[in-house]
Structure 1
Amino acid sequence: MMPRPAPPDPMNPVSGTPTMRFHATRRSLLLGAAAVLAAPAISRAQTPVLRIGNQKGGLRSLIEASGQGKDLPYRIEWSEFPAAAPLLEALNAGAIDLGTQGDLAFLSVFANGAPIRAIGATRADAASQAILVPGQSTARTIADLRGRKVAANRGGWGQYLLRAALKREGIPHGEVTQVPLGPADASLAFRSGAVDAWVIWEPYNSIEIEGFGARILADGTGLTPTVSLLSVNEAALRDKRPLLTDFVRRNERGWAWAQENIPAFARSTSELTRIPEAMLRRAYTVQKTRAVPLDAALAAELQVAADQSVEFGVMARTIRVADAVDTGFTLASAR
């Protein structure tokens, strides 16, 4: 008689009949393959994530071009926004953790009760904000804007600079019609002649000057702080502080690199935005953007602008700027 095969050992998958051993081995291989395939997904899920809002050609271009996006101890999920307003809406809703925008745009949203705080700052030269007119315009001074239509974004740098320039010249703001338009719509209105002037900032200034023959009627020198802020949702401030601290440092190093490598920065941004390199080189040269400490001194300077913003209708109510900023990141970055 043929000896009976040994019964399968539940602790040994290769025991039993050849058929049983085949199926057991196949099952082990499949389970092993599944584990290998699942490993990257599990690892990816466990990697911390920083969700960052980007305005095209902005923060993402800086971080990637400067090399500060390498060797991250976390993963960045970028979201693209056409302007500061929708980015701040996403930040307010907690859909993103962090983004950058102009000081007054940030403070206006904070004044409305948004759960956001500023954790880092950069400053550009005030000449990077300007009131543009078409090359053929008869306007030569701010006084020549009387009775004319001027495009300027509501609740931000555009509205503030227009009102500040009119105030300096002693011109009642009611003598100029402000047309509240964001950059995309304002550029079309400006080029078509639907408005007589446009209050805007770089790189739009360089695009209009280099590409369409516009000229500067006045710029922001002596009128605006021209500060941009890295702002975060309060939930991220509570839950992701180490990640945010690391990113603030990378942002600072990125801007230091950009000032020394304007051609390379312009080339990288041009590839992302399709804006000609020459226009971006001009814009970056005018801006001279650099990281600055977000400290008590800067908060005091922004307080003056915030108070003036209430008079200008940029902000709905007076705020305490110190409540809108977290200076701990500046201190951490200095160490």
Structure 2
Amino acid sequence: MSFNIDRRALIGATALAAAPAIARAQAPRTLRVGNQRGGLRSLLEVSRVAGDLPYRIEWSEFPAAQPLLEALNANAIDLGSMGDLNFFSVYSSGAPIKAIAATRSDGASQNIVVRGDSPIRTVADLRGKRIAAARGGWTHYSLLAILQREGIPFSDVRFAWLLPAEAALAFRTGEVDAWSVWEPYTSLEVLNFGSRVLTDARGLVPSASLLAVHNDALTQRREQLQDFVRRNARAWAWAQDNRQEYARFTASIIRQPVPVIERAYGVNQTRAVPIDDALVREFQVAVDQAQAWGVVPQRVNVAEAVDQSFTRGLGS
């Protein structure tokens, strides 16, 4: 039995069969990015640095750093931003994640506030008082660091481990005497409720946030990650020069008064910085102390937890 095969039909069929594979090969890769409301996504949008992306971003929204880190640990997302101590806490438990970029804020963005009518005037006045703080973050660490700096034994104060929403209610109703908190919560209490900043954590904490990735993304999406890190740095540089516009945009998203967000950004002074040897050493000192205080569950080798190659050449 013989068959007459039309050569043009054969070529056409072969091309059709190959088309899906070619399309897949040429299609832009997708980067799965975790976002907290008013975070990475809004920054990239308002700064307009992501208008010509050569890949697609698939955004996932999270209410806080902890569920974002859980998703990153499970490889449900490739990338996300969180406070450095939150990252190191999860990393120390064996999560397959790594930090590839960093931003820093001024230490004044982490502080202890008291109500405007409070008799507390100095840190020494906190002895015997009840202080709210979120367990396991930099404000937990900074609270202990402030007490240590002032020579106050931790046993001389009473800790109330509360998340921000619970802490705000307890603070305003007088159930706690002070609150170890961060921006923009501080600016909200100061501007809207007449609270006072008792002291801040300048010189005591790195005050940094990290871009962290799942290990699989390091090998599978390295080019996209490198591009995202560059755009993120450009976006933060834009934010420094356009604070009012950035504050208005963020305020509309998180539904907070513009003056609160503008004050918070002025205090934060957030900028992208390289993960260099100096920052690694600073992190190591802080994380070792945090582990000694029980803020981080296990010891962390910071040099192994970060990939310094993504921010080489990034000016501080």
The answer as to whether partners of 1:248 and 1:333 remain within 8 angstroms in 2 is no
CA RMSD of aligned residues (A): 2.2
Where does residue 12 of structure 2 map in the other structure?
none
Would you say how many aligned residue pairs link Structure 1 and Structure 2? Answer: 298
The correspondence for 2:50, drawn from 62, 69, 80, is 69
Partner amino acid, structure 1, of 2:133: A
* Partner Cα distance (1:95, 1:229) in 2: 18
The correspondence for 1:47, drawn from 24, 28, 37, is 28
The correspondence for 2:266, drawn from 272, 276, 285, is 285
Q: Which runs of 5+ in 1 are unaligned?
A: 1-10, 12-34
Task: Give the CA deviation at 1:230.
Answer: 0.7
Structure label with greater radius of gyration: 1
Where does residue 78 of structure 2 map in the other structure?
97
The answer as to whether partners of 2:274 and 2:313 remain within 8 angstroms in 1 is no
Where does residue 13 of structure 2 map in the other structure?
none
* Partner Cα distance (1:76, 1:192) in 2: 43
Q: 1:77 to 1:245 in 2, by over 3 A?
A: same
Partner amino acid, structure 2, of 1:178: F
* Partner Cα distance (1:98, 1:260) in 2: 26
Secondary structure of the residue that 1:317 maps to in structure 2? coil
After TM superposition, the structure 1 = structure 2 runs for residues 169-184 of structure 1, keeping only pairs within 5 Å, are 169-184=150-165
1:324 maps to 2:298 = no
Listed one character per residue, the Cα deviations across residues 90-147 of structure 1 (whole Å, up to 9, x for unaligned) are 1111111111111111111111111111000111110111111111111111221222
Q: 1:221 to 1:71 in 2, by over 3 A?
A: same
Listed one character per residue, the Cα deviations across residues 8-65 of structure 1 (whole Å, up to 9, x for unaligned) are xxx9xxxxxxxxxxxxxxxxxxxxxxx9xxx9xx78x943211111121111121111
* Partner Cα distance (2:110, 2:65) in 1: 16
Listed one character per residue, the Cα deviations across residues 237-288 of structure 1 (whole Å, up to 9, x for unaligned) are 1211111000000000000000000011011111211111111111111111
What is the TM-score with the length of structure 2 in the denominator? 0.89
The correspondence for 1:161, drawn from 130, 134, 142, is 142
The answer as to whether partners of 2:29 and 2:56 remain within 8 angstroms in 1 is yes
The answer as to whether partners of 1:207 and 1:279 remain within 8 angstroms in 2 is yes
1:191 maps to 2:172 = yes
Task: Give the CA deviation at 1:332.
Answer: 6.9
The answer as to whether partners of 2:100 and 2:212 remain within 8 angstroms in 1 is yes
Task: Give the CA deviation at 1:311.
Answer: 2.0
Task: Give the CA deviation at 1:331.
Answer: 2.1
Post-superposition, which runs of at least 4 consecutive aligned residues in structure 1 deviate over 3 A? none
The answer as to whether partners of 1:210 and 1:279 remain within 8 angstroms in 2 is yes
Task: Give the CA deviation at 1:320.
Answer: 0.9
Partner amino acid, structure 2, of 1:47: P
* Partner Cα distance (2:313, 2:272) in 1: 14
Where does residue 114 of structure 2 map in the other structure?
133
Secondary structure of the residue that 1:200 maps to in structure 2? strand
Q: Percent identity?
A: 56
The answer as to whether partners of 1:245 and 1:332 remain within 8 angstroms in 2 is no
1:87 maps to 2:88 = no
After TM superposition, the structure 1 = structure 2 runs for residues 138-287 of structure 1, keeping only pairs within 5 Å, are 138-287=119-268
* Partner Cα distance (1:211, 1:219) in 2: 19
* Partner Cα distance (1:333, 1:293) in 2: 6
Partner amino acid, structure 2, of 1:329: F
Where does residue 301 of structure 1 map in the other structure?
282
